[in-house]
Structure 1
């Protein structure tokens, strides 16, 4: 027992401390209310992953780590006391795992995203994962095998022929316009007036709109996409434009087809939406993956969120064969494989400072350029996929900006480089031209003292390119120069096989850039090659431009000048026979001050105006694309071989069309002539019937008997003019 003195001293100390703390304690009685986390009564955050490898107990830990690493990329995992965040059930009878796993995320959104992302994910070469929400798995568990009844197969329904328009006997093209509340598809044959193919008549009768925003054709013209922001993107096809599917995406503003028409990207341009961009499989309608408008880390954290200050979101781009989908991020290019939509090799392509990238139109080659960083020069890189092998790198110095342009056939690749002097006060241009089909991909540099405003390759296996240049970028008068990537050279060949040594001259094509022609003093700011090559339009487009259109034949050096005031778009049809010039306004831009000029003109490739149409509100004109069959060498060779035969057939068809058009134009005149002849015949017959009556009234005299007349000839001379000359 403690001494009494110690107890008394302790009580005194407590009293002193209580006195010192007097006023610091509340007199309110304590009633603690513990705050427990909300009881989760559903399993919406859990998923079941099936089709996993079945492994023995010794490999369970390793498989758990692999699955955990995979699913943790999607969201935060949740684990209970004494339980792992990834549950792999183990069968004690067979001594292997059951082939599935149960995973729980912190939120339901993460669980839903895991279902979409991991569905059909190739875990290894033999196992494609199947993912099911846990609640749905419980419902499936309640069904026994005895209760399963195989459903009746749905009756076969033939899909509409999405290529019917290619079977048109007149080989006509089609285009679609958006004006007012109307969306109309027209036929065009470069001779007669456009005729309506479909204007949404079926939907009008049902009281629904088949389009409320912009429209878009698929790359081969098989599918037609219309946008209804409240519903999403709708696909149509076939002779009667039947509805083929709807891809739900609220607020959709843009769609992008893959080149082979297997996939569709929709975008609502909402930067606050984590699913602003969606990728769909067209045939199945499955949503493959969702993306935010901007990739993670692309925007600076200190950047203003004002829409005017925000940079445009980096666009997605497809490879030519639909195998890859890529988007640029900060110092990276993210390349996704189809159809899993997983990162190629599970990592992005590192590209420090990348500013722009493009896929080759004919090969799985990716080109990008990056500016100078530290002591490293600016450079243009060509990367082969999927190996990521660097095919070519071109270093550039004193670079302000680059613009890349692929040849439509992928044979050449051009880079317009804007350079600056050391003081950065003076800018100048040059072109870096890559020959993609030659070993080592050689590069030729073309210097230009002038500023280059536009640059375009000739399509259809062409080797030429055109560029607009002037001493001052703001000049109203510019020059247009045509270059050829090949040069014809005359060489002398000796014939040593014969007894008499002879020489002959042959033309040899050399791979060398040479200037073909320069057109000086032109009023243009854009150039548009015909898809067939040879013909080009030099256009002056924009609100403040003159609207001059110059149709130039590069082969024959002929020029035709026309005008479409305030035109802001030029669009060739796929065959190169017809070109449309358009004055359009934004569909959501409010009042348009040039509404009186809205509409479009159709021209022949030679500059003859074929059709003109005006509208109060005109938003869009787009030609229906065709699959480029002539790019296949066998078909191209066959067409060239039988060209005379095709010419005769088309000449015959043209004469028939011209005859029909002449008959249609003269239909009214021919009807008047026929009526006149019928009236004349009736009056002649009536007079003949009255002949006997006239003779009776004239006492037997027949006024129509020519023998009772005497014919006399008289000559009358009339002086028309006289002229006197003094000699």
Structure 2
């Protein structure tokens, strides 16, 4: 019954619809017999057809490796282990296929499938022509390339030239006619980043952006790029307008490091991405292409930077568990395919001018500690120095690579108890290696006091150290000469400092007291005659920054160290205060580095010899700049005075217009014109009770 009633209702409704239409006949939507449809599917379903499955879908992640060794069934497992070691570093391999002959021998080519097509493409780019051994060299291609090469037309057509897209002048800042340096000022949490030019008497703001970085910024070693930190990774900025040069996706990055020649960038995310537990922790990138070259995971606690680079970007290395791993570029594989086994190795560092590694090894029972110089890539040992009763070592290279200083903390007394050595007391000595002399002789400087700081003169053969304990802290200066032991030049006694800051061009040094114990003391010293040019202070001082020319010094109080009196002061190299800048939530200030000069030593000496010839020209420019600044200041003051006069006239006119209203409110008495002693002014004294207090007197 229910079905019958519903059908009757549907028939009735259809009749009503037909009756409501304009005509008695039902509409006909069919095409005529001679109709031809000229609308293509791409016009109707263009957006849907873009996602149409292709025949090659699923093959973009497959690579074909030719040149694989042909081995029997008993050696296939070992071959797979070698292949996985080479190709698994580019991504997760989800499938592999090793074709074999009837007797089980591999055919010399294999198929590997990655979980991500980008990983497959990276494997092709970095392993094609990879030399496995003397007889086998890999030829690696994407599986989809076979279909692409099959469709090559018989007639060759020359490729169309692409329009050139320049990257802009990345070194424009070096072409400033007055050679003004640039610096960056950052407020806390990246709220604002300013790029300023050190013009006189006031700096010029070249660029200012809010939210440019989430934490802080870092310049590349040669000053070409500025790196900013973001939640999703690192961005590099360059060019006249600081346009974005490259982005590197690596979530929650906290530390970065550039290679000395700015070819590569190392990013490190200590905590990793909580949403992605498989995220790579350390990644090395190619700055020019933006491609990931290799990734690593940290092995236990280690100081940043984990990787140390050679001066020419050809090698980089790190210390592992009793091994020193040296990698070569651009393959990013281990040098000679194996690490250097060194039992007890603690730290190492590269020479700033040569491919020489200095490393130190801790004591082990009856085996003494030692410092070794190792030449790379042939791994030949240049010099080794044994050390006894060693607690710790610090390696300090001179900037020109002529000398190496190893600061050795030693135990002063040793006694044997129950087959173990017990130590008490500490002292320090410095082992100076003469790198340019035959057989690398070593001199020692012994200091019986704790060492607070040590620093080589960047240009020259002097070094300085802060030693002693409060209140008797001393600063000593030594000089190293060829064939001679280090000579004590000067000793400043009872100084309130704990850090040394040499000028980039040597000769001048700032002795500073940083932190709560330092008190913010500053002492500017000329080490040619050891003349103290000025003694002053900057309370709660946290940063000292020399400009690349050695003419100016910034001292700052960072918001990260103190919440009050934040800002930075500008000093001359002689210790004369030039400008005080108070900046709320000031966090960081960094000078933009300059690349090494292109002038030879002979040309530099010639310029210094004839420097008096340029004095008049420089003084004339300075006077013009000062007069221009004075003129601009006078014009600015005149404009402000004119605005004030206009404002005053407007207020006087308004005061005159409101005078009748004031008179009406004051019984037509013009109180504005009356003197205080006028008889028309009535004075009324009003007294009222405030408080009564009774104090009994004994």
Report the TM range for the smaller structure's normalisation. Answer: 0.7 to 0.9
| Alpha-carbon distance change, 545 to 342 in structure 1, aligned in 2, over 3 angstroms | same
Whole-angstrom CA distance in 1 between matches of 2:203 and 2:115: 59
2:284 is aligned with 1:279:
yes
1:405 to 383, 396, 400: 396
* Structure 1 residues 596 and 88: alpha-carbon distance in aligned structure 2, compared to 1, 3 A threshold: farther
CA distance in 1 between partners of 2:84 and 2:486 (Å) = 54
**Cα distance in structure 2, aligned partners of 1:653 and 1:61:** 82
Residue 378 of structure 1, CA deviation:
0.5
CA distance in 2, matches of 1:285, 1:363: 28
Please give the root-mean-square deviation of Cα atoms over the aligned residues, in Å: 3.7
Q: Provide, for residues 409-467 of structure 1, a one-character-per-residue CA deviation record: whole Å limited to 9, x for no partner.
A: 1111101111002041200111100111111111001111222221111112x111111
* Match in the other structure for 2:613: 645
- Report the CA distance shift for 1:548/1:444 in structure 2 as closer, same or farther (over 3 A): same
TM-score by length of 2: 0.73
Question: What SS class does the counterpart of residue 162 from structure 2 fall into?
Answer: coil
Could you say which residue in structure 1 is the equivalent of 2:31? none
Of 313, 316, 321 in structure 1, the residue corresponding to residue 307 of structure 2 is 316
Output the CA distance in 2 between the equivalents of 1:273 and 1:540. Answer: 44
Q: Deviations over 1:372-398 (max 9, x none)?
A: 013211111111111111111111000
The equivalent position to 2:596 in structure 1, one of 618, 623, 628, is 628
Structure 1 partner of 2:373? 382
Q: What residue is the counterpart of 1:195 in the other structure?
A: 204
Structure 1 match to 2:228: 226
Residue 267 of structure 2 contacts residue 284 of structure 2 at CA under 8 Å; is this kept in 1? yes
CA offsets per residue over residues 183-239 of structure 1, 9 Å max, x none?
A: 1111114x4222211113xxx7xxxx5422321111111122222222x22122111
Q: 1:640 offset after TM fit, Å? A: 3.3
| Correspondence for 2:345 among 329, 354, 366 | 354
Structure 1 residues 120 and 220, CA, compared in 2 at 3 Å: closer, same or farther? farther
Alignment-derived partner of residue 481 in structure 1:
476
**What does residue 546 of structure 2 align with?**
572
1-structure distance, mates of 2:518, 2:375: 42
SS at the partner of 1:600? Answer: strand
Alignment of 1:463-474 (within 5 A): 463-470=461-468, 472=469
Residues 72-96 of structure 1: CA distance to partner in whole angstroms, max 9, x if unpaired? 4555897779849xx9986xxxxxx
Deviates more, 1:619-628 or 1:110-119: 110-119
What is the CA distance between 1:564 and its match in structure 2?
1.1
**1:543 alignment partner, SS class:** helix
Deviation digits for residues 630-666 of structure 1, max 9, x if unmatched? 6843443443354333444323322322333344455
Superposition map of 1:250-265 within 5 A:
250-265=251-266
Measured in 1, the distance between the counterparts of 2:258 and 2:141 equals 29
Query: Which one of the candidate residues 116, 127, 145 is aligned to 1:118?
Result: 127
Query: Aligned residue for 1:217?
Result: 219
Q: CA deviation at 1:179?
A: 0.6
Report the CA distance shift for 1:61/1:415 in structure 2 as closer, same or farther (over 3 A): same
Aligned length: 565
Secondary structure in 1 aligned to 2:518? coil
1:118 CA drift (Å): 3.0
Q: Any conservation in 2 of the 1:314–1:329 contact (CA below 8 Å)? A: no
Q: Specify which of 190, 195, 206 is matched with residue 185 of structure 1.
A: 195
State the shift of 1:153 in Å: 3.8
Residue correspondence of structure 1 range 479-518 to structure 2 within 5 A: 479-486=474-481, 511-518=484-491
What is the Cα deviation at residue 513 of structure 1?
1.4
Matches within 5 A, 1:512-551: 512-551=485-524
Greater shift after overlay, 597-606 or 138-147?
A: 138-147
Larger relative CO (CA 8 A, sep 6+): 1 or 2? 1
In 2, Cα distance between equivalents of 1:630 and 1:110: 41
**Distance in 1, Cα, partners of 2:147 & 2:185:** 50
CA displacement at 1:267 relative to structure 2: 1.6
Give the equivalent residue in structure 1 for 2:165: 157
**For residue 693 of structure 1, what is the aligned residue in structure 2?**
none
**CA separation of 1:126/1:216 partners in 2, compared to 1, >3 Å: closer, same or farther?**
farther
Change (3 A) 1:169 1:654: same
Partner Cα separation in structure 2 for residue 48 and residue 641 of structure 1: 66
Task: Call closer, same or farther: CA 1:457–1:144 in 2, change over 3 Å.
Answer: same
Equivalent in the alignment of 1:561: 535
Q: Does 1:329 align with 2:295?
A: no
3-state secondary structure, aligned to 1:596:
coil
Partner residue in 2 for 1:7: none
For 1:433, the equivalent position in structure 2 comes to 432
User: Partners of 2:181 and 2:624 in 1: how far apart?
Assistant: 19
Distance 1:394 1:333 in 2: 18
Asked if structure 1 preserves the Cα contact closer than 8 Å seen for 2:98 and 2:110, the reply is: no
3-state SS of 2:491 partner: strand
Q: Which runs of 5+ in 1 are unaligned?
A: 1-40, 91-96, 300-309, 487-508, 587-591, 675-727
Task: Tell which deviates more after alignment, 659-668 or 110-119.
Answer: 110-119
The answer to whether residue 82 in structure 2 is matched with residue 69 in structure 1 is: yes
Distance 1:520 1:643 in 2: 36
Tell me which residue corresponds to 1:599: 567
Distance 1:70 1:80 in 2: 12
**Which residue, out of 602, 605, 616, partners 2:584?**
616
1:237 maps to 238
- Within a 5 Å distance, the mapping from 1:649-688 to structure 2 comes to 649-666=617-634
The alpha-carbon deviation at position 624 of structure 1 amounts to 0.5
Distance 1:411 1:241 in 2: 38
Give per-residue Cα distances to partners, 1:293-325, cap 9 Å, x unaligned: x13xxx3xxxxxxxxxx5556611111001011
Cα distance in structure 1, aligned partners of 2:241 and 2:135: 44
Q: Which 5+ residue runs of structure 2 have no aligned equivalent?
A: 1-56, 415-421, 643-698
Aligned partners of 1:263, 1:668: CA distance in 2, in Å?
A: 48
